Amino acid sequence: MPEITPKKLFIETLGCAMNQRDSEHMIAELNREDTYELTDHLNEADLILINTCSVREKPVSKLFSEIGIFNKHRKEGAKIGVCGCTASHLGDEVIRRAPSVDFVLGARNVSRINEVLHRPHAVEVDIDYDESTYAFGEYRNTPLKAMVNITIGCDKSCTYCIVPHTRGEEISIPHALIVREITKAVRNGAREVMLLGQNVNGYGRRFGAGAGEDEPRDFTELLLVISRIDGLERIRFQSPHPLHMDDAFLHEFATNPKICKQIHVPLQSGSTRILRAMKRGYTQENFLERCAKIRQLVPEATISTDVIVGFPGESEEDFEATMEVLEAVRFDQMFSFKYSPRPLTEAAEFTTQVEDAVAGERLRRLQARHNEILDEVMGAQMGRVHRVYFDELKSGGRIAGRADDGKLVFVEGSEELLGQIRDVEITRTSRAALDGRVV
């Protein structure tokens, strides 16, 4: 048999977990037609893919300078493809601005990677395309944990957000496909699944062609179905929307032993007035009530959040309302950003944009206070015992894993701990991670 020389693929993935999963899907699809090997060296790659994020302006402006660098260093005959959310909303403008790009593939069209690869200057960015029942090939970055999409797209219209314009309308994936994919991952060694969607707890509102008669009615029912999968031990999900955190869902979260006690409750702003302008659908009061309910049902749960500061019209008083929520909930993790005006969004047209210096100062204040809270939260972990799933070998004889509540934990150890779930006593704490020893 003639020896096959694999092609080399350089892939850069920006943005959220959905993009990471899309990158896995593209790698799987490419390998259906050819044999690809991943490389970290741009100059040896036959194919260079940039899987872009559009949620804020900065990565988009960096994209074009990056394409210039990639073009300069690419080997003779190598192709460059721009994929993902920025591809979706810029479409053929990518090639007009950067003619060295060979193809553009939208975030909702990743199953068509082999098609665009062979069409010079192809642009495939149809956001109405329904990939919800497409059977992707099999590829995962690690066999130990599986990311599995449960919905595609987003049906909300948060006024700051470009995602509905890059990923199209929300469609739920039939439960049989989800179960099949998780079962396969479990058979290949995964003990944990991360269910992905822009609003996971909006699951079940609309299915595409190929759905059965007996689909779960909502996310809570889907969780019940998934937790019956043999060999699956841990279920995580990302991201739920505060508006759809009904009592039945919180009850399932609290009582189902397979569901990890970590929940993302994206706040965005603590001011009811700003929340209304953002079209988030909840008030400060609703948000606080839901978080209090989570703390009451599962005191050990970690609550993470996303905050945007400097949304158009945000006054000092509005910002103080966000600080109030921070004090009340004491989030275990917070991702905070300065508001960034995005094309195609309503808020970009608002005439009350907040000065950059003001937003920057508020972001610093918010993060400084959050760091103080975090020091206390993490400091209190000293001596506690966490159940940790080890999934990553580190240098210096260390191995890392995640506690049930999502905290990053390091211990001394080697391969034999990989894929194991063990009790770990915490012996050292820092803001970002914990150190401990297996007990």
Angle at 364 between CA 360 and CA 370, to 5 degrees: 145
Binding at 164: pick from ligand SAH, ligand F3S, ligand SF4, none (beta carbon under 5-8 Å per type):
ligand SF4
Using CB under 6 A, count the residues that bind ligand SF4: 9
163 interacts with ligand F3S by CB under 6 A: yes
Give the strand pairing for 145-149 and 192-196: parallel
Shortest distance in whole angstroms from residue 55 CB to ligand SF4: 8
Q: Counting contacts by CB under 6 A, is residue 345 touching ligand SF4?
A: no
Could you give the CA distance from residue 59 to residue 87 in angstroms, rounded to a whole number? 12
Residue 369 CB, nearest distance to ligand SF4 (Å)? 23
Q: Pick from 11, 19, 29, 50 the residue near ligand F3S by CB under 6 A.
A: 19
Give which of 107, 166, 182, 139 is closest to 343, Cα–Cα: 166
Residues 143-162 that bind ligand SF4 (CB under 6 A): 154, 156, 158, 161
Nearest approach, Cβ of residue 148 and ligand SF4 (Å): 18
Total chain residues near ligand SAH (CB under 6 A) = 17
Burial 355-364 (b: 16+ CB within 10 A, else e): eeebbeebbe
* Angle 204-208-210 from CA coordinates, rounded to 5°: 105
- Which residues within the stretch 262-291 sit at the binding site for ligand SAH (CB under 6 A)? 266, 268
Using the minimum distance from each CB to ligand SAH, give the nearer residue, 227 or 283.
283
Would you say 122 or 243 has its CB closer to ligand SAH?
243
Return the residues of window 162-191 that contact ligand SF4 according to CB under 6 A.
163-164
Q: In angstroms, rounded to a whole number, what is the distance separating the alpha carbons of residues 170 and 205? A: 9
Fill in the per-residue mask, 236 to 275: x = in contact with ligand F3S (CB under 6 A), - = not in contact. Answer: ----------------------------------------
- Between 107 and 185, CB nearer to ligand SF4: 107
Residue keyed to tokens 């909930």:
329
- What distance in Å separates the CA atoms of residue 421 and residue 439, rounded to the nearest whole number? 12
Integer CA distances (angstroms), 121 to 96, 116, 244, in order: 10, 8, 42
In contact, 287 and 266? CB cutoff 8 Å: no
| Residue 334 CB neighbours (<10 A) | 20
Check residue 166 for interaction with ligand F3S (CB under 6 A). yes
User: According to CB under 6 A, which residues from 34 to 63 bind ligand F3S?
Assistant: 53-55
User: Whose CA is closest to 139, among 13, 24, 23, 19?
Assistant: 24
Q: Which of 308, 325, 354, 409 binds ligand SAH (CB under 6 A)?
A: 308
* Nearest residue to ligand F3S on Cβ basis: 15
* H or E stretch covering 106: strand 103-106
Pull the structure tokens for residue 373. 């809270």
Window of 25-33, 223-231, 281-289, 335-343 that interacts with ligand SAH by CB under 6 A: 335-343
Q: What is the largest CA-CA distance in the chain?
A: 73
Q: How far apart are CA 393 and CA 222, in angstroms?
A: 33
Cα gap 297→289, rounded to integer Å: 12
Shortest Cβ 165–ligand F3S spacing (Å):
9
Should residue 197 be labelled a site residue for ligand SF4 when binding is judged by CB under 6 A? no
Q: Are 299 and 332 in contact (CB under 8 A)?
A: no
The dihedral of CA 136, 21, 331, 309: what is its sign? negative
18 binds, among ligand SF4, ligand F3S, ligand SAH, none (CB under 5 to 8 A by kind): ligand F3S
Among 50, 55, 190, 321, binds ligand SAH (CB under 6 A): 55
**Tokens found for residue 299:** 């005191």
Omega of the bond leading into 239 within 30 degrees of 0 (cis): yes
Q: Which stretch binds ligand SAH (CB under 6 A): 60-68, 87-95, 321-329, 333-341?
A: 333-341
Measured from the CB atom, the residue of 94 and 161 that comes closer to ligand SAH is 161
Binding site for ligand SF4 (CB under 6 A): 154, 156, 158, 161, 163-164, 198-199, 241
Tell me which residues touch ligand F3S (CB under 6 A).
Answer: 15-16, 18-19, 53-55, 84-85, 107, 163, 166-167
Binding site for ligand SAH (CB under 6 A): 55-56, 160-161, 163, 198-199, 239, 241, 266, 268, 306, 308, 337, 339-340, 342
